[in-house]
């Protein structure tokens, strides 16, 4: 199938061609025709599948062919509203509308929290056709009556599962109620738990359902391996592996925000340029961290699942799962950050004894056994000054906070000296199909 067969307006096709797209991705091929016809849609797809264009292209087409109400005076009011969980994803969606809609004459803007609302309000006052928003900021603007949703004809909920995870269910329902009932609603979600199905039943009318296979099964170019390693040795292993200069740009995933900060801080102390991003950081801090990573000043970005969602950074050579995710789908999302646009990529996971069930769930989901890697020789263990008891924290996407003092956290005794007793280069340690445990010397094969 070619884009030209989708009956999109020539001014949209012009931008698509300029972007170098020739054939629609599976989600685009499935979603664009029903959305053009005006159907509601429930799409099971994640970032990296071309999902943004799957809704942006037909929305642009529909808005072009249905001109705004010219009898109304004042600035243009949004006719399409796209809700996204994070600032980064919202920004990327808005940028995509800018790219795909370059020749359409339609206007767009994005609103999100963590920054002054001044410029956002000004853009709304100037008038926009397409509004991309995170739910929290949009609610604020609605309460201040600086946004008017009465002209919205198309509502999109992107990464609906993440929005629910982040506690946005009430804002979503509130916003949906403020949008005219006679509208087209599109909902995309990487996973389809019960809560998403309930939400879909209440917001969508007779939706067409489309689904695309997860990135993991669709991306054979990702080389996956796992190190079986004790929790308190993970940081040392990461530092040893990062000595390999072939690791040009690495994304490290932790389960909690606190864990992300700790890993980045320790990497920094070990002389590795690293930044952490997560939901507790202010927007300008996140942007600075991202800029440093994108420009190569920092080789490593440590992130939680939520913060990394929607991140579109090219050239990530390695993804490290410092902690295995509790939801196996998140593993697929995480490793999909490497090997984008047909490039090859490497995904390396660290699995502590208590995480073996998580590893099994991942292998069950992807239908593929993750190859075991042989541990390199690690420097002698120096107990860290910082607590390792991260399993006592709740995962980041449930909005965890650090546990109360005394809940298993060891007392601090000053900064940890990070002694590196000359580890062997990683490249020399090709992975063998065995699993060994730390510390340093291999022990018996653990049963899985």
Per CB under 6 A, residues contacting ligand AMP are: 21, 24-25, 28, 47-53, 312
Contact 125, 75 (CB under 8 A): yes
Residue 57: CB minimum distance to ligand AMP, A: 9
Nearer to ligand AMP, 52 or 304 (CB): 52
Nearer to ligand AMP, 92 or 384 (CB): 92
What's the angle, vertex CA 45, arms to CA 39 and CA 47, rounded to 5? 120
Nearer to ligand AMP, 9 or 230 (CB): 9
Residue 338: CB minimum distance to ligand AMP, A: 13
Nearer to ligand AMP, 214 or 376 (CB): 214
Residue 312: CB minimum distance to ligand AMP, A: 6
Residue 336: CB minimum distance to ligand AMP, A: 9
Among the listed residues 198, 183, 154, the one whose alpha carbon sits nearest the alpha carbon of residue 63: 154
* d(C-alpha 354, C-alpha 375), whole Å: 18
Helix/strand/coil for 348: strand
List of E strands, 118-270: 130-133, 154-157, 184-189, 208-211, 222-228, 250-253
Residue 174: CB minimum distance to ligand AMP, A: 27
Nearer to ligand AMP, 53 or 302 (CB): 53
Residue 341: CB minimum distance to ligand AMP, A: 7
Nearer to ligand AMP, 84 or 147 (CB): 84
* d(C-alpha 139, C-alpha 145), whole Å: 10
* d(C-alpha 302, C-alpha 321), whole Å: 10
Handedness of CA 352, 356, 358, 359 (dihedral sign): positive
Contact 68, 120 (CB under 8 A): no
Nearer to ligand AMP, 286 or 309 (CB): 309
Among the listed residues 240, 230, 163, the one whose alpha carbon sits nearest the alpha carbon of residue 203: 163
Beta carbons within 8 Å of 128's beta carbon, 6+ residues apart: 76, 78, 107, 108, 109
Residue 28: CB minimum distance to ligand AMP, A: 6
- From the centroid of its chain, how far is CA 101? 24
Residue 187: CB minimum distance to ligand AMP, A: 15
Contact 186, 43 (CB under 8 A): yes
* d(C-alpha 73, C-alpha 66), whole Å: 18
């Amino acid at each position: 199938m070619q884009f030209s067969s989708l009956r999109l307006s020539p001014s949209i096709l012009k931008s698509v061609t300029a972007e170098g797209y020739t054939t629609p991705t599976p989600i685009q091929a499935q979603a664009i025709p029903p959305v053009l016809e005006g159907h509601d849609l429930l799409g099971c797809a994640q970032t990296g599948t071309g999902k943004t264009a799957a809704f942006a292209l037909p929305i642009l087409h529909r808005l072009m062919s249905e001109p705004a109400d010219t009898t109304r005076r004042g600035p243009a009011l949004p006719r399409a509203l796209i809700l996204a969980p994070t600032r980064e994803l919202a920004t990327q969606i808005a940028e995509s509308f800018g790219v795909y809609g370059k020749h359409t004459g339609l206007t767009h803007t994005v609103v999100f929290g963590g920054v002054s609302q001044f410029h956002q309000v000004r853009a709304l006052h100037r008038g926009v056709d397409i509004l991309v928003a995170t739910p929290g900021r949009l609610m604020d603007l609605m309460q201040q009556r600086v946004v008017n949703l009465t002209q919205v004809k198309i509502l999109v909920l992107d990464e609906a599962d993440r929005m629910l995870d982040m506690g946005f269910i009430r804002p979503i329902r509130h916003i949906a109620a403020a949008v005219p009932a006679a509208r087209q609603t599109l909902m995309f979600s990487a996973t389809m738990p019960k809560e998403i199905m309930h939400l879909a039943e209440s917001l969508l009318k007779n939706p067409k359902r489309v689904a695309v296979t997860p990135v993991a099964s669709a991306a054979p170019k990702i080389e996956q391996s796992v190190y079986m390693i004790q929790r308190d040795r993970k940081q040392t292993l990461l530092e040893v592996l990062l000595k390999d200069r072939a690791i040009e740009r690495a994304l490290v995933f932790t389960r909690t925000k606190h864990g992300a900060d700790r890993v980045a801080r320790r990497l920094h102390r070990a002389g590795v340029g690293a930044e952490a991003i997560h939901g507790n950081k202010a927007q300008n801090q996140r942007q600075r961290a991202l800029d440093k990573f994108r420009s190569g000043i920092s080789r490593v970005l440590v992130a939680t699942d939520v913060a990394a969602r929607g991140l579109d950074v090219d050239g990530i050579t390695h993804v490290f799962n410092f902690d295995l995710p509790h939801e196996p789908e998140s593993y697929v999302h995480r490793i999909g950050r490497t090997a984008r646009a047909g490039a090859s990529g490497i995904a390396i996971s660290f699995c502590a004894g208590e995480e073996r069930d998580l590893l099994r769930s991942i292998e069950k989901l992807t239908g593929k056994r993750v190859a075991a890697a042989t541990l390199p020789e690690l420097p002698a263990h120096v107990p860290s000054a910082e607590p390792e008891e991260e399993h006592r924290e709740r995962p980041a996407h449930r909005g965890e906070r650090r546990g109360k003092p005394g809940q298993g956290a060891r007392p601090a005794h000053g900064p940890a000296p990070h002694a590196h007793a000359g580890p062997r280069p990683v490249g020399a340690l090709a992975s063998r199909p065995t699993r060994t445990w730390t510390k340093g010397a291999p022990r018996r094969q653990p049963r899985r």
